[in-house]
Amino acid sequence: MPHPPGSDDLVFFVNGRKVTKRDVDPEVTLLTFLRRNRTLSSQVLAQACSTGTPGPGCLPGLRVSGCRAGLGGGFPKQLRDAPPGGTGKPWLFSLTSAPVGLTGTKLACGGGGCGACTVMLSRYDPASRKPRHVSVTACLVPLCSLHGAAVTTVEGVGSIRTRVHPVQERIAKSHGTQCGFCTPGMVMSVYTLLRNHAQPSEAQLLEALGGNLCRCTGYRPILESGRTFCSDSDGCGQSGARQCCLDQLGDDSSPPGSCGPRAHMCSELFPRAEFQPWDPTQEPIFPPELVRMAESLEQHSLTFRGDRVTWVSPGTLQELLALRARHPEAPLVLGNTALGPAIKSQGLVHPLLISPARVPELSAVTETSGGLTVGAGCSLAQLQDILAKSISELPGEKTRTFRALEKALHSLASQQVRNLASLGGHVMSRHSYSDLNPILAVGGAALHLRSEGGARLIPLDEHFLAGVASADLRPGEILESVHIPHSRKWEFVSGFRQAQALQNAVPHVSAGMRVLFTEGTDAIEDLSIAYGGVGTTMVMVPRSCQQLLGRHWTEEMLDEACRLVLGEVAIPGAASGGRVEFRRTLLVSFLFKFYLQVLQELKTCLFLGPLSTLSVSYPQHPDQSLSALEDFCVTMPQGVQTYQRVDPQQPSQDLVGRPVMHLSGLKHATGEALFCDDLPRVDKELFMALVTSTRPHAKIVSVDSSEALRLPGVVNVIMAEDIPGTNGTEDDRLLAVDEVLCVGQVICAVVAETDVQAKRATERVRVTYEDLEPVVFSIQDAIKHNSFLCPEKQLEQGSVEEAFEKVDHVIGGEVHVGGQEHFYMETQRVLVIPKTEDQELDIYVSTQDPAHVQKTVALTLNVPLSRVTCHVKRVGGGFGGKVGRPATFGAIAAVGAIKTGRPIRLVLDREEDMLITGGRHPLFGKYKVGFMDSGRIKALDIECYINGGCTLDDSELVTEFLILKLENAYKIRNLRFRGRACRTNLPSNTAFRGFGFPQGALVTELCITAVAARCGLLPEEVREKNMYRTVDKTIYKQAFSPEPLHRCWAECLERADLRGRRARADAFNRQNHWRKRGVAAVPMKFSVGFAATSYHQAAALVHVYTDGSVLVTHGGNELGQGIHTKMLQVASRELRVPMCRLHIQETSTATVPNTVATAASIGADVNGRAVQNACQTLLKRLEPIIKKNPEGTWEDWVRAAFEQRISLSATGYFRGYKAFMDWEKGEGEPFPYYVFGAACSEVEIDCLTGAHRKLRTDIVMDAGCSLNPALDIGQVEGAFLQGVGLYTTEELHYSPGGALLSLGLEEYKIPTVADVPEEFNVTLLPSSGTQLAIYSSKGLGESGMFLGSSVFFAISDAVAAARRDRALAENFTVRTPATPEQVRMACEDRFTEMIPREDPKTFKPWSIPVA
């Protein structure tokens, strides 16, 4: 490729290899560069898929030269010192090959919010004469910004081909990986931490991982693996010993006759003693060439030119000012954390980007007697260090502003973003929700501006932040530095924030507050208050502050301040972001917190004694108010995971029942596990992008693709008329025909040479609509319009109406349960490769059901199923969202492949995925319950409606399962359950982990709590009174024994010490007015499987090769649940062969046909039976040979069998569990068996903000005889935390026009490391099993989801305590999810009463409810 005129060479290092790049496009990010693969033929691709090795490759215009710098990571010296490129050693090939195809760095969100693309970025600092290592998200880093930097990816840390790094080894062996998609990012965050701190603290570990999301594991094992490096780690937290207290006596060889809990229970999931030592001296050196570059005095401007954008990086301040003078409109880019996401979401193009990162003056820090001046180019992470140093060195009275800023920085974004984002960029972005700007503004910060015309100083105030011309930068000026004054003796400064989550979340409201008192008094001399998140810019309240000058710091002043602030700050009802009343309440809640903080400090300064200034309007015992001063902090989880030991007589080679590491764990940790989009590009491959509807219900008048087709690189546009076979079903089209039914429905698809070209072209496809009526979004609208997807489902037993007449009490209520986004880390993606003959296609797809993809593609193309082969190596999370949806995308891509004759790759962005695919069904439930004074329920009538979206999908099945599972653990003689699926103009909702049970069982449990409240009983007492007691039949007449249910419940309550904890919580609540604790326990009866026998069948294929190695293939798909690991455990036991001789390649429709979706928690059950069957067939064939040569080896027997012409290949088959349901009769046996469990959780809420912390959770789960306790406990923990997300943080918002507003991680919050309970104990119930499943095990994939509701009910319990304190009615229901908004507004007090409220009919809200 010719050198672009005027472009410079970009020089940087990747994994110790020098990269010189001439054709740098400023629009390309580091992530894109790293993931670029060389082009392979389809034959080589198939080999790469089977071996997991895509091979190296170089891009045109890329020069790679050798350098030993960076080769280390604990590798043997002779290998580290080997000459690069010439050894032929595979480890050298992987570490020193061209830095393309480094697919360990994952694309998951594209906005820097999930951490999946975390890498280590290192730069040499001439001042300190050492490199600075930081973790960054590669999706935000412009490639052009890397000049002089060293990048380390997960591949550069360690490899399974040589030696894995201790970080990689420990996260894998600690079972901290399930689907593995997030694991490389986790590894890089911890690795970077260790490069900076050889023995980090637990707090540093939590901060390092705060920006990394995982949807599978529940984080506990990830944190546990990182904790092994920490200096302050205390083993299990129950004991000071490194060994868990439960394991200090006894081991796997305990004698059979021994007794006591330690004789048969174990809590060691991984052997710490086997970990290789961590030696920080063996890490790679920083490339000397980069040291020389950094110390060079020649710093000329660098220019990189792309097709649309030019990047200029001046080397001196003078060059920067001259460039700024010539191009005042050009953005300045440092961290790209604001501009990058804006460019992506808004499609902005800036012809010129200026990067001042190499200008040393912008990184200067100056301390003076008046304060601290920090260069605008300093990162927020550097600002943290600068402030911490000043705080440690200066008197406390001078650092109050610094302390407020440092506190705000800990919760601002993630570590990766803080490492990139600059102070100047944060200030100049002027985000209305800024955490820092309100504090800087009230603290009197000033901005040092510079231009070619000179320097000037302006205040950082509301006029600047509002962009008022007279207070803003002039053309040609830059922000050089920010001056932060010291605080004074009688000056107090604080910052506040409240967000959806504790970590990595934009605040709903932020605040900075400062007061200066006349010396020696509490008279206000100066006052400044600023709020973020309440308008389009930061808002200050100068009029209110002016009126309070001279007032004393009393309750009367506080009341007046609240009234004035609410009058001056107007948040309209239609304000963007919604939550209007909540945000108004936070204005005054923060004021009250500030009032108390200052009052407490004044008490210290003036020795005032008790806080006697508080009147009876507040708690009568003022010390009860001090809990409002404390902030919730994130702490390292403690806890114990307990499971039953294997029989001491079990052979050591037999791994069934042992905590075996995930088969791909080490490959996940090294980035060598290939996912769908990691596959190398194929010859002539094209990229596809989708055009979706922008209207909720409209006629398609026309689709004009002419403009898109004229764009460079665009090959074709795929329309409905291009489909040679069936275009989906009548009511669920693959591509819309004539009409669209929701925002996000796929209309057509663009095919182009690159993904960028395809996505740009979608914006040029012009669709003309004609709106149609009605438009239905909510369940209430659907009921009103009689808009339903299927007939009502109903079950009834006893005489409900008659029972209502004979009870002591009858109450009713309504329940609203919001939807949930799957948020699998790997978005929907597919690669379709047409073959040259016989209309054959290979489809590589991320799916839970390859057979469904195969069938849909075959019908779409009008070809036999035998011509379509689907391959699934592994899936980066599914949770039900990859059962049906991948077939749609696979079929659309297949049409493109057939039309163009070229391979097609389709990868959805996170926002596209969330917009198009739907999720968990929102639910609206109504209940009527009749009960006695004792709490015994005699009659229950529940009617549920779910929001199914615009097409049927799985909504009828979800409705059926919802009704079948509504009774949960309770035997109520008179029941009536009814359910309907509503048709609305939203994207179709689909299968999701739990399949209706998490929503429906919540309705039932809310009935229980309502009954308990009316009877004056504890909820757990009412639960026990109404549980199944003996062998009985369900409402659908299926018999079962509840004995494991009672064991789970009793053991959970005992382990959790529920009675003692409730007493302690009550005592805490009496002593604290603004903090309340709640405790709750919930039981669970979860039915496993599909309600149809044919869906329980499974097949397997086992080959034994003449060298004794074994290839196992089955119909299950690896989603992270460890099904492949369990299948090899089964095969190893049955064949009596070590697991190391067994291998699973992939799931393919060509090897095991007609498979059933890996779902409903039975994947390991049924496929395990099929593998068992195949292995038993093989072993039976070998029996005569083994009898003749009993002393022979496995290899001897296999060779003999081959010589005797005995087949060494066998299919296995399992016909399935019997399951049926007759809905006309209302009876059947729809489920093979039940999983029982119980959870007890304790929380603490902040009544002023609605925030909560999870103090403790205890779970006891009936796992049968676990095939693999580590994997099963991981499933329980991961499902539990996903349930916690459903019930507390994950909130979907829809616009009045039906568009999903919660697109991406800025608005949608899944749990983070901060959401793990501070004490988290999980026990697998011993001596429990079902003879039905393989080795008496049970499937646990979904059941733990509902146990997350124990946190919801604990929050409700805490809210009830707050309401009792305020003499409020307790007949209330906290809506789900129990977000800070819901909790705060339920804790009504004088502050919620004083806020203004508007009639909802007078404005158009930002979002509308759909449940």
Which among 1366, 1409, 1381 has a CA at the least distance from the CA of 1251? 1381
Q: Classify residue 126 by burial, with Cβ atoms within 10 Å: 0-12, 13-18, 19+.
A: exposed
Count the neighbouring beta carbons within 10 Å of the beta carbon of residue 272: 13
In whole angstroms, what is the distance from residue 112 CA to residue 118 CA? 9
- Let me know: does 1114 contact 1129? Beta carbons within 8 Å: no
Q: Beta strand 1098-1104 with 809-817: parallel, antiparallel or unpaired? A: unpaired
CA 492 to chain CA centroid, Å, is: 38
Half-sphere exposure of 1347 (CA within 13 A, CB side): 35
Contacts of 260 (CB under 8 A, 6+ apart): none
Q: Which amino acid is at 1067?
A: A
* DSSP secondary structure letters along 851-870: HHHHHHHHHHHT--GGGEEE
Half-sphere exposure of 128 (CA within 13 A, CB side): 7
Give every strand in the sheet of 809-817, ordered side by side: 793-797, 974-983, 937-949, 923-931, 809-817
* DSSP secondary structure letters along 464-495: HHTT-GGGSPPTT-EEEEEEEEPP-TTEEEEE
In whole angstroms, what is the distance from residue 1383 CA to residue 1379 CA? 6
Instruction: For residue 746, list its beta bridge partners.
Output: 692
In whole angstroms, what is the distance from residue 796 CA to residue 802 CA? 13
Q: Which residue has the tokens 């012009």?
A: 766
Which among 89, 114, 120 has a CA at the least distance from the CA of 194? 120
Count the neighbouring beta carbons within 10 Å of the beta carbon of residue 701: 10
Per-residue tokens: 124: 């040499």
Per-residue tokens: 1343: 């059941």
Q: Classify residue 574 by burial, with Cβ atoms within 10 Å: 0-12, 13-18, 19+.
A: middle
Half-sphere exposure of 286 (CA within 13 A, CB side): 20
Question: Dihedrals φ, ψ of 929, to 5°?
Answer: -130, 135
**DSSP assignment letter at 24:** -
What are the start-end ranges of the H helices in 534-673?
Answer: 542-548, 555-568, 580-606, 665-670
- What is the rounded (10 degree) CA torsion for 795, 801, 805, 811? 60
- Let me know: does 1280 contact 1259? Beta carbons within 8 Å: yes
Q: Which residue has the tokens 């616009």?
A: 1295
Kindly tell me the sign of the dihedral angle through the C-alpha atoms of 1266, 1270, 1272, 1276: positive
In whole angstroms, what is the distance from residue 1351 CA to residue 1321 CA? 14
Per-residue tokens: 856: 């849909």
Radius of gyration of the chain (CA): 32
CA 1011 to chain CA centroid, Å, is: 35
- Let me know: does 1267 contact 1131? Beta carbons within 8 Å: no
* DSSP secondary structure letters along 107-171: -SSSSSSS-TTEEEEEEEETTTTEEEEEEEETTTSBGGGGTT-EEE-GGGT--TTS---HHHHHH
By annotation, the residues acting in catalysis are 1342
- Let me know: does 670 contact 153? Beta carbons within 8 Å: no
